[in-house]
Structure formats: C-alpha cells, structure tokens
Amino acid sequence: MHFRLLIPISFLLSFTAPPPTSPPTPQTPQTPQTPQTCTHPTWGFFAHKRINRLATMTLPPEMMVFFKPNIDYLTDHAVDPDMRRYASKHEGPRHYIDLDNYGEPPFDQLPRHWVDALLTHTEIWMVNAAGDTSLLIGGRKPLQEVWQRDYKHWFSRQVASRFYQDEETIPVDSLKTFLDFMGRKEKPVAAFYREHLSEHGVLPWNLQRMQRQLTEAFRQRDSRRILKLAADMGHYIGDAHVPLHTTSNYNGQKTGQHGIHGFWESRIPELFADDTYDYFVGKPEYVERTEDWFWQAVFDSNKLVDSVLNFEKALRRSFPQDRQMCPDMRLGTMVVTPCRDFAAAYQESLNNMIERRLRAAIHAVSSAWYTAWVDAGEPDLSNMDKPLMSEEERKEEEELRKTFDRGRIIGRGEDH
C-alpha cells in the first residue's frame, strides 16, 4: 500500500533553490568547456536538505510526533557531514566507494562486512629494539589459514576499534601476546597499522555502522543522539544514490569531463527540483537485512555511471557550443556554469534519472529511520527530552563552521 505525499506549496516555497541572478536569455556565448560549477558539497546543500526534510514527512504518526517538531534540525544538519570534510581526514571516505577498484559486478570478492573488509586491506607493522621497521601481517605476508579466526578476533578488538582515531599505533603488549600465542619469534617494541580500505571509500560499511548506532539511540530514547544520527544518515544515504559516488572517475577527470559531478548533483536539482520534480513517495518500508540493502543502493547507483558519463559526452558534441556554458552569480561570485537549456537537455537525455535517484533517496532515508525504530522495539517517542545542545557541542559546531568557511577540504573533492 502506498500513499501520495501531499506537501503544501507554502512548505516547499519555504525551502527552494537559490534563483539565478543572471538573466536566462539571451545567454552569453562562452568558450566550450566541461562544466565548472561553484564549489558545493555532495548533492549540493540544496538536495541533501530536501531529502531529509521530505523523508520526515513520510514517517508514521508514532515517529512523526518527535521528528516533525525537529524537522528544521534534520534539514539544517543534513549538510554536517560535508562540512566535516573540511575538519577531519576520516570524513571524506564515508561519502563514497570506488567500486571499479574491486573488479566487475557483482563484486563477489568485495567483503560486505566491515571487519572483514578492513582486515583484508590492513597491514600490521612492527619496530624492533634496533629501530628497524618491518611488515608482520597483511599484504605480501598473509597469515596461515589456521590462524585466521584468532587473528580476526584480535584484529577487531585492537585495530578495527581504533579506526577513527588519528593515531595508528597498536598496544604492543597485546601484539606480543598474540605473536607468542602463534609461536612466532618477533619481539616488537612498538607497533602500528596501515589501512588501505579508506583510499577507495567506506560508504556502505559506514552506513551499516550508523544503522546500528541509530537503533541503539532509539532503544535508549536519546533524543539528541537520535536527531544527530538521523541527520547524518540521511546525508550518507543520499550520497549512496549518486552514481558518481561509486566510481574512481567521480568527477569525470579520467574521461575529460571535469566538473560533471557538480553538474549532475548540484546544478540540475537546483534548476528543476522545485518546478518539475514529483516528490510523491511511498510509506517507509521495514528492511529485513539493512547490510545487504545498503550495498544494493550503491550497486544500483554504479549501474548508472556509464549513462551519466556517456550521455553528457554525446550531448556536448551535438548541443550548440555557445549555449553550453553561461555566467551566473553564485554566493556573490560570478561563475561559469552549465546553461539552463543545456542542463535541461542533459536531464532529458538521462530520462529524469536525477529525479528518480532523489526520490529513491528520500524513501531510503525514511525506511532506514523507520527500520531502526522498529528494531529498537518501537519505543514511545512522545514526551521525549528536549534535545538541548551542550556547551561543548555548541563550541564544536562553531569551530566546524569556521573550518568549513576557510574552504580547505581534507581529502579529495569533487570541484562542484
């Protein structure tokens, strides 16, 4: 059973894309080039906020009683993960996964579970008393099969649990104990690990982790944590529905299409989402196996990568060159960005793919929230504690915004 999401026009008008300040016609001829839009984070702030806001409106009454009064928080903080990309080296890889780094679909050799994936792509190094550094485990020195189970148990406690810490050291006593258990003779005085998984993104594994965290927050009826995790999850689920977040050619840099990332996910939604997109989505659905479901989301996105790239390249060859790029005022800066007519033609050639992925993201976000609530035992969300921000959290938020305003992203950017 599905229902139509009826949204008052006043509700949508209160949250619209920024209007272009330069006249749409006549369009000033520009030298043909690949799209160079102004710097906006993934899906653009516009789309991420829209996803969380509309996902809230699909929830059942038992959840709406808490989520709707906090809809502005969920909307405004939908972009926090992008802002953290300017503050933490750990943040960037949570937004993408380069599936082409792992072979061809259906990617059978790609571990679906976090610890298995991290273990496969991590090396353990030691320093001996003489100060020499050497590889102990991983990479070109795999463990014998007989020790794999014990190693995984040790690894999950001593390495995986430290993944989001800035230090990559390992407690040397714990490593000595494990080496002695295996009968090995090495005597490390210090140890550290080197992981290579995040080099190609950890998006679906991060979603698995966050789903567990959100479920526990519901179980504890922790209003502040529920809102923070729900807002963040909405962002990452949105990213999972963007094809260019699933490929190493994320900005067309390998095919001479630099700037296509922002063209697809920022420019087009901002131009057309309010006027033409249909936001009627179904009720959230309970997901039995969220781990597989998150993977399917990125696999579905990845199937669209070739179309995203090839249709843009073909259109650029056939569309009048002097109507491809136009000046526009964005955030007080004059930029050259894809013309409205060119963007409309690209959207049409993709058979409204961007609208379809946006709708799928809205439904997926509400379904993830709903599933976490059900798995937590459907706790009563009425009369929840007011989610007040602590002074420490307030300071952290202020510092995050200052870091974002300085505009130096850590890790790779998409140059939207």
Q: What is the pLDDT of residues 28-54, one digit of tens each?
A: 334 344 433 334 444 568 999 999 999
Q: What was the pLDDT predicted at 88?
A: 85
Average pLDDT over residues 164-182: 94
CATH topology for 9-105+201-406 is: P1 Nuclease (1.10.575)
Q: Please work out, in degrees rounded to the nearest 5, the angle formed at the alpha carbon of residue 272 by the alpha carbons of 267 and 275.
A: 155
SS3 label, residue 170? coil
Report percent pLDDT > 70 for the chain. Answer: 88
At 15 the pLDDT is: 40
Q: Give the integer Cα–Cα distance in Å for 411 and 416.
A: 15
Across the chain, mean pLDDT equals: 88
Question: What is the band of 3 on the pLDDT scale with cuts at 50, 70, 90?
Answer: very low
Query: In the prediction, which pLDDT does 391 show?
Result: 75
Higher-confidence residue of 11 and 261: namely 261
pLDDT exceeds cutoff 70 at 22: no
For the ranges 7-21, 201-215, 401-415, the one whose mean pLDDT is highest: 201-215
Cα three-residue angle 393-79-218, rounded to 5 degrees: 60
pLDDT for 44: 62
Distance between CA atoms of residues 189 and 126, nearest Å: 7
pLDDT at position 37, please? 35
Range 379-405 burial, b when 16+ CB lie within 10 A, else e: eebeebeebeeeeeeeeeeeebeebbe
Distance CA 172, CA 187 (A): 9
Is 153's pLDDT higher than 70?
A: yes
Q: How many C-beta atoms surround the C-beta of residue 2 within 10 A?
A: 10
Nearest alpha carbon to residue 135 among 194, 185, 180, 177: 194
| Angle made by CA atoms 80, 297, 357, in degrees to the nearest 5 | 75
Residues 110-126, mean pLDDT to the nearest whole number? 96
Please compute the mean of the pLDDT values over residues 391-405 and round it to a whole number.
76
Using the 8-state DSSP alphabet, how is residue 100 labeled?
G
Residue 387 pLDDT more than 70? yes
Task: Kindly state the helix (H) or strand (E) to which residue 232 belongs, with its residue range.
Answer: helix 223-240
Least confident of 29-38, 98-107, 175-184, 336-345: 29-38
Mean pLDDT across 152-172: 93
Confidence class for position 262, pLDDT limits 50, 70, 90: very high
C-alpha of 394 from chain center: 24
The domain limits of the chain are 9-105+201-406, 122-195
Which single residue is written with the structure tokens 């202020």? 398
Confidence of residue 197 (pLDDT cuts 50, 70, 90): very high
| Secondary structure of residue 141 in the 3-state scheme | strand
What's the pLDDT score for residue 414? 61
Report, as an integer, the average pLDDT of 62-79: 96
